[in-house]
Each structure stands twice: as C-alpha cells, then as structure tokens.
Amino acid sequence: MTHTLFLFITTAMTLLASTFCYSKATPITITPNHFKTLVPIEIKGECSPCEIKLPLNLLSKILGASSFRVFDQKGQEIPTLLIEDHPYRQDEEIALVIFNQVQYKSQSTGENVQSLEFTLPEKDNLANDGINSLRLSIADTNFQREINLLAKNRQQTNFQMIAEKLPIIGFQDKANIYQYKQTQINFSTQKFSDYKLEISIPQKEHALVIESVFLQKIKESGGSQYAVNLSFHRSEARPSLYSVNSALKKDFYELTLPIPIQKLEFAFAEKWYKRFVEIYQYSEKEHRYLPHPVASTYLFNYDSQKNQVVTFNNLVRNEKLLLVIHQGNNVPITLNEIVGKGFNKKIIFFTDTIAVSMPLYLYLDSESEIFPSYDIEERWKRLPKDHLIKDATLRELAINKQFISSIDQEKPVSERPPYLIYIVVALLAIFLLGYFIKIARRV
C-alpha cells in the first residue's frame, strides 16, 4: 500500500510540475514560418546543380547550415549545401643535397654572404614542371636575413639572378614560449637544373646553420576572397585582462566585425618591427571582455623596401574584439589599417530529384537553430570537374509575412488554464481521504 501511495504521489507531482514549465518544444520540421526574412531566387529551368553566390550583405546572416533554408512556392524544402570558395592547392616538394657551402662578398650587393648550391635531379617531375618556391630548414632561432636566388642550366657556366632580397626571419622569445620562423621564399616558375642561394651575413653576425633545402612547385587554382576595411578606435586600458607579458606598455584598440572574418591583416606605419599581439572577445552575456585571449601571436615586418601588410591568421566571426599591441622596448607603434578577409560562400542545390514548384526562396533569420537532416555533399563531390553549374540570382531581401514567432506562443504561468492543477489536487485529496478512512477502520 505504501508503494502504491508513493507511485501515485510521484505521478501527481510530475503532472503538477509540468503546468509550471514553458512548453517550448522544438519543431521536428522547420517551415518558412520560422524565418523572419526571405530573398526570392531567380532561376531558369532545372539545375543539377544550381549555385547561389552570396553577397556581402548576407554573409553575416549565414554562418552555418542551420541559419538558412531554401523552399519552393508550396513550402517544400530544397536540399542545400553551404560551401566556402577555397582555392584548390597542390604542392610537390623534393629535398636536395647541399654542396659547395662557402662565404664571400656578393658581386651584386657587395655584402658578406654565405653561399650554398644544389642540383635538381634530371628525372624528377619538378625538373619538367618547374619550381616556384623554396623552403629552408634552419637550426638557428633568432635571425633576420635576406636571400638572393640564382640559377643556371647544366651546360651553362655562370649563374643568373632569379630573385633578390627576399626576407627570412626566425624568432624565439626570452621565455622560450613562442617560436616563429618564416624561411620560405616564393618566385615565378623556373625550370633550371642548378641553383645557388646567397644568404646575407650582417655585421657581427655568424652564418646560419642550414639543415636542408626543399624545392617546391605550388599549384593553386580557383577560390575567391572578400576584403573589407574595418573601422577601429583606441580604447581605455584593461588591466584585468590576462597578458603573457604584463611589464610592457600596451596599446588597446576596439573593433566590431560587420561580417564573418577568417583573417585579419594589420598595416603599421613603422618598418622593421616585431610586436606581440593579443585578441580578446567580448561576451554579450557577461557584458565584458573575457579575461583570456582567443588568439595571440607575434607580428613581424622584415621588409625594409615597403610598408608590408602583416597577416593574422585566426578564425573570428561577427563579434566585438579588443586588440592589444605590446610595445616592444616600450616604443609605441602606429596602426594605420586593419583589413578583414574571408573566403566567399555559395549555396549549392539540386532541383532534378524532386517536383519543384517555382519560384524558390532563400529564408533567413530563424529563431530556431535546427540543422538539416539531409546530406547532398557526396553527390556534389561525385560531380565531374567539367560539369555545368547554373548560376541562380538573388533579388532584394524582404520581410517574410508568414513568420510566426515561437516566443509569442509561450505563455506565462499566470495566463495558463489552472484546471489541470484542480483535477490533480482533487484526485490526490480523494485518494488520501480513502487511505485515512481505511486506516481509521483498522484502528
């Protein structure tokens, strides 16, 4: 009897508690009613596949597969695939044996240089395709040098200059926490057999320890990027933020990204600089910058011939950021420009597998983050490279008049019918009354 009473009371309390909960059930299927805005799609006939190139004004609305849908006129969902327009890259590389390492005064520059020669094997593919890049493996950690690349064919006697004053750099901080090396140089495609490197030796410096040399052929095709100038302003100091090196003075800058950014490029007025940079992310929930950086790195400019734009490679999306620049030796540096870059996005969809009712619409700004259940990526990958892709055109962004807010459907407890509470309480009272009457009869 006690067990039965316990089960009944538990069930009653569960029903009672359910009346005080918000009935916010996630819809099983998403419909056009879930989206605040829409964009009509112009397309002629069937497409297998169709491609929508997203303009900049829509990039901030489409961050992933859950943030958009394509429906036809009757509300039937069209399977889609969101892809970023990365370039296709293929690298070939060969390690070469170094010989004839000497030091002398360069005839072209008059500076002291260390020279090393190497030969490309005749039967190697790169001998026919040519090379356009060279990478050095260097044992030293702190260096800043310039390279001249010379080349000739086997039947020739003298080397000729291919590229000159190409910078390489190596850096390691005093705490041995951060190490950076840029020892790759790029140039126009060359098909010589013999190569020679001249590496500058600054005064009071020693020759570098070269461990190996790699010749490369980098093939890159396709892909497209967007670039936007980002506005920024100086900010007050934030002493509460975490910092790797708190002893140095710092400059603080705030910026808000208008669209998703995958790469930041900083341009400074000064030349020959080295600065440690941290990026902090703002939390809307906590109304403050989070204490630990989302990214940190060193920025270098080692090209004295021009004001080089330095690239900061990190993925940041549509958010407010704080940039902290540590002043090297407490010497300030002038930030001229910040450029945000990212790969363009496009939406792929097929209309030949289902009966589509034209026109089609791209729906955006949903309150529900629901990922699609279909997957057309495999079909997209199986398409031949020469397969015809039809372009679809987007019209103007408009308000979706069919939108029904899920928030409006939620009612507070005070506005809900109380009859369920009364029924549960009445049943519980009847059961308890009967239970006590039965006990009283036994007594």
- Between 379 and 279, name the one with better pLDDT: 279
Top-tier CATH class for 225-343: mainly beta
Phi and psi, residue 255, nearest 5°: -150, 150
pLDDT-derived band at 226 (thresholds 50, 70, 90) equals: very high
Which has the minimum average pLDDT: 7-21, 356-370, 388-402?
7-21
Average pLDDT score, the chain: 81
Over residues 331-344, the mean pLDDT reads 88
Over residues 359-383, the mean pLDDT reads 85
Share of the chain above pLDDT 70, in %: 81
Rounded to 10 degrees, the C-alpha dihedral 314/317/320/326 comes to 0
The token pair at 128 is 């026919």
Q: List the chain domain ranges.
A: 2-23+410-442, 32-85+345-399, 90-221, 225-343
pLDDT-derived band at 22 (thresholds 50, 70, 90) equals: very low
pLDDT tens string 80-91: 999 989 888 888
The token pair at 230 is 């980002």
Q: Is the per-residue pLDDT at 79 higher than 70?
A: yes
8-state DSSP, 55: P
8-state DSSP, 368: S
Q: Select the CATH number that applies to the domain covering 90-221 from these four: 3.40.50.2000, 2.60.120.260, 1.10.1060.10, 2.40.50.140.
A: 2.60.120.260
For the chain, the farthest-separated pair of C-alpha atoms sits apart, in whole angstroms, at: 122
Tell me if domain 90-221 and domain 225-343 are identical in fold: yes
Which has the minimum average pLDDT: 132-141, 202-211, 268-277?
268-277
Query: Residue 200, SS3?
Result: strand
pTM for the structure as a whole: 0.72
Give 88's strand partners.
Answer: 221
pLDDT tens string 52-65: 999 999 988 888 88
Q: Determine whether 246 is exposed, middle or buried from the number of CB atoms within 10 Å of its CB (0-12, 13-18, 19+).
A: exposed
